[in-house]
Structure 1
Amino acid sequence: MDDWALVAELCYMFDLDSAGLVKEAHIRAVSPRDIIAGFTRTFAYMRIHGIEGSANAPLTELDALPPGTLDKRIVFNDAIWIDTFRTSHTISTMPGEYVSAVIAFLQARAPDWYDLGPEGGDIQAWLETTPLMLALRHRLEALDEAD
């Protein structure tokens, strides 16, 4: 089995979108070995803390969830963004292009956040009020002012 096939199998085990993860890996030049290493760290975390411990881990426990996982709790923080490869990025140092890409990603995924937002409310409007989105917007403003 080659490395990309193993990545696909690991995604299948966690019910993740392997095609999306592989596509993003190619765009960002992330090797299959790096992705496999991320899954390996998640297995080790689960072995130590159990599946429940992994699911309830603090947001900053990057190894608690496998690559390709988006922890929806991310919207309730204003300091970091955790990408699809479970890498933490400090919002206050993120480049503008990346901030804009994260905002676009969050807006496109807004329907996925229905369980976090107000019942029957406008999920896009709610998303704009979250600590994460406010921090990302503030970062863009700061970068615009610096130019």
Structure 2
Amino acid sequence: MRSVNDLKKLSLQDVLLSELSWEQRQQLDQEAPTHIQVPSGSRIPIDYSRPDDPTLSVRLQEMFGQQETPRIGGGRVPVTVHLLSPAQRPVQVTRDLANFWRETYFEVKKDLKGRYPKHYWPDNPLEAMATNRAKPRGN
């Protein structure tokens, strides 16, 4: 390092991660993953900008079939899920996905079905195929 610009080029994350052993890295990846794979197959990044409230922003249709709220930290920490419309706008924020499917989904579905009629809005979201497209393949 010869200048402030050289120092600015360093990634603090990379420097800190390089200090961990392989076992510690594995544990970190398991306890605080950078991404969560959702039922559609997409790997969605977790936002840790508020450490006490990790957040997952994902399109509602990509979560069909997911019965419980995703958890990290060995299952101790529920992830706050920001369910998004097809236009990537938040339609619901929840830490209780099971309750959302049971109590709120049908109201949200009415609104979204009117605004996005070409998209897939199943009557039973827990048994529906998750998709990252307007409709699941084959429909």
TM-score bracket, normalised by the shorter chain, equals: under 0.3
User: Looking at CA atoms only, which structure, 1 or 2, has the larger radius of gyration?
Assistant: 2
TM-score by length of structure 1 reads 0.25
More strand by share: 2
Structure showing the higher helix proportion among its residues: 1
